[in-house]
Amino acid sequence: MGEITIHHYLYLSAILFFIGVYGVLFRRNLIVMFMSIELMLNAVNLSFITFARYSSSMDGHVIAFFVMALAAGEAGVGLAILVMVFRNRATVQADDLTLMRD
Protein backbone atom coordinates (compact mmCIF):
# COMPACT_ATOMS: atom_id res chain seq x y z
CA MET A 1 0.00 0.00 0.00
CA GLY A 2 2.58 2.53 1.07
CA GLU A 3 2.05 6.16 1.74
CA ILE A 4 -0.33 8.21 -0.38
CA THR A 5 1.49 10.96 -2.20
CA ILE A 6 0.42 13.76 -4.46
CA HIS A 7 0.93 11.42 -7.43
CA HIS A 8 -1.80 9.02 -6.32
CA TYR A 9 -4.36 11.78 -6.25
CA LEU A 10 -3.20 13.25 -9.56
CA TYR A 11 -3.20 9.90 -11.34
CA LEU A 12 -6.70 9.24 -10.05
CA SER A 13 -7.73 12.66 -11.29
CA ALA A 14 -6.25 11.96 -14.74
CA ILE A 15 -7.96 8.56 -14.95
CA LEU A 16 -11.33 10.03 -14.00
CA PHE A 17 -10.85 12.84 -16.50
CA PHE A 18 -10.22 10.40 -19.32
CA ILE A 19 -13.18 8.25 -18.32
CA GLY A 20 -15.17 11.43 -18.85
CA VAL A 21 -13.46 12.07 -22.19
CA TYR A 22 -14.30 8.52 -23.25
CA GLY A 23 -17.93 9.10 -22.32
CA VAL A 24 -18.14 12.28 -24.37
CA LEU A 25 -16.43 10.70 -27.38
CA PHE A 26 -18.16 7.33 -27.49
CA ARG A 27 -21.65 7.87 -26.13
CA ARG A 28 -24.31 9.49 -28.27
CA ASN A 29 -26.87 9.96 -25.52
CA LEU A 30 -26.96 13.67 -24.65
CA ILE A 31 -27.66 13.03 -20.97
CA VAL A 32 -24.72 10.65 -20.63
CA MET A 33 -22.46 13.07 -22.49
CA PHE A 34 -23.61 15.76 -20.11
CA MET A 35 -22.83 13.60 -17.08
CA SER A 36 -19.41 12.78 -18.54
CA ILE A 37 -18.65 16.49 -18.60
CA GLU A 38 -19.64 16.67 -14.94
CA LEU A 39 -17.21 13.84 -14.21
CA MET A 40 -14.43 15.70 -16.03
CA LEU A 41 -15.13 18.84 -14.01
CA ASN A 42 -14.92 16.78 -10.86
CA ALA A 43 -11.65 15.20 -11.86
CA VAL A 44 -10.23 18.69 -12.34
CA ASN A 45 -11.61 19.71 -8.96
CA LEU A 46 -9.79 16.80 -7.40
CA SER A 47 -6.48 18.02 -8.80
CA PHE A 48 -7.21 21.57 -7.62
CA ILE A 49 -7.87 20.32 -4.09
CA THR A 50 -4.75 18.14 -4.24
CA PHE A 51 -2.57 21.04 -5.31
CA ALA A 52 -4.12 23.19 -2.60
CA ARG A 53 -3.27 20.61 0.03
CA TYR A 54 0.28 20.02 -1.14
CA SER A 55 1.12 23.69 -1.51
CA SER A 56 -0.74 24.79 1.65
CA SER A 57 -2.71 27.52 -0.05
CA MET A 58 -6.45 27.69 -0.20
CA ASP A 59 -6.69 29.14 -3.72
CA GLY A 60 -7.54 25.67 -5.01
CA HIS A 61 -10.54 25.44 -2.71
CA VAL A 62 -11.93 28.73 -3.94
CA ILE A 63 -11.43 27.69 -7.57
CA ALA A 64 -13.13 24.36 -6.87
CA PHE A 65 -16.02 26.35 -5.46
CA PHE A 66 -16.17 28.42 -8.64
CA VAL A 67 -16.11 25.26 -10.74
CA MET A 68 -19.06 23.94 -8.77
CA ALA A 69 -21.00 27.16 -9.23
CA LEU A 70 -20.25 26.96 -12.93
CA ALA A 71 -21.34 23.33 -13.04
CA ALA A 72 -24.60 24.24 -11.33
CA GLY A 73 -25.30 26.94 -13.91
CA GLU A 74 -24.28 24.60 -16.70
CA ALA A 75 -26.57 21.88 -15.37
CA GLY A 76 -29.50 24.26 -15.29
CA VAL A 77 -29.02 25.64 -18.79
CA GLY A 78 -27.93 22.32 -20.30
CA LEU A 79 -30.88 20.40 -18.94
CA ALA A 80 -33.29 23.13 -20.04
CA ILE A 81 -31.88 22.86 -23.56
CA LEU A 82 -32.15 19.09 -23.34
CA VAL A 83 -35.80 19.27 -22.34
CA MET A 84 -36.49 21.69 -25.20
CA VAL A 85 -34.74 19.37 -27.67
CA PHE A 86 -36.79 16.47 -26.41
CA ARG A 87 -40.01 18.47 -26.66
CA ASN A 88 -39.30 19.43 -30.27
CA ARG A 89 -37.61 16.31 -31.61
CA ALA A 90 -38.64 13.55 -29.14
CA THR A 91 -35.08 12.26 -28.93
CA VAL A 92 -32.00 12.70 -26.80
CA GLN A 93 -29.57 11.02 -29.18
CA ALA A 94 -26.95 13.37 -30.54
CA ASP A 95 -26.94 11.48 -33.85
CA ASP A 96 -30.58 12.28 -34.47
CA LEU A 97 -30.05 16.02 -34.24
CA THR A 98 -28.99 16.65 -37.82
CA LEU A 99 -31.14 19.64 -38.71
CA MET A 100 -28.12 21.83 -39.46
CA ARG A 101 -26.39 19.17 -41.54
CA ASP A 102 -29.19 18.02 -43.81
Partner 1 sequence: MAVAFYILAFFSVLGGVLMVTRRNPLSGAFALVLSLVSLAGLFAGLAAEFVFILQVLVYAGAIMVLIIFTIMLLNLNPNEMYEAPVGRFHTVVLVALCAVGLAAFIQVFSQLPSAVTAIGPDFGSIEGVGEFMLTRYLYPFELVSALLLVAIVGVVLLAKKVI
Pick out residues in 7-36 that bind partner 1 (CB under 8 A).
Answer: 7-12, 14-23, 25-29, 31-32, 34-36
Angle formed at CA 43 by CA 23 and CA 10, multiple of 5 degrees: 120
Taking CB under 8 A as the criterion, which residues in 37-66 touch partner 1?
38-39, 42, 45-46, 49-50, 52-56, 58-62, 64-66
DSSP assignment, residue 96? G
Closest to partner 1 by CB, 34 vs 99, is 34
End-to-end CA distance of the chain: 56
Q: Which residue among 44, 69, 98, 100 contacts partner 1 (CB under 8 A)?
A: 69
Contact (CB, 8 A) for 20 and 40: yes
Closest to partner 1 by CB, 16 vs 99, is 16
Taking CB under 8 A as the criterion, which residues in 70-99 touch partner 1?
70-77, 79-84, 86, 92-93, 95
Q: Residue 14 contacts by C-beta under 8 Å, 6 or more apart in sequence?
A: 43
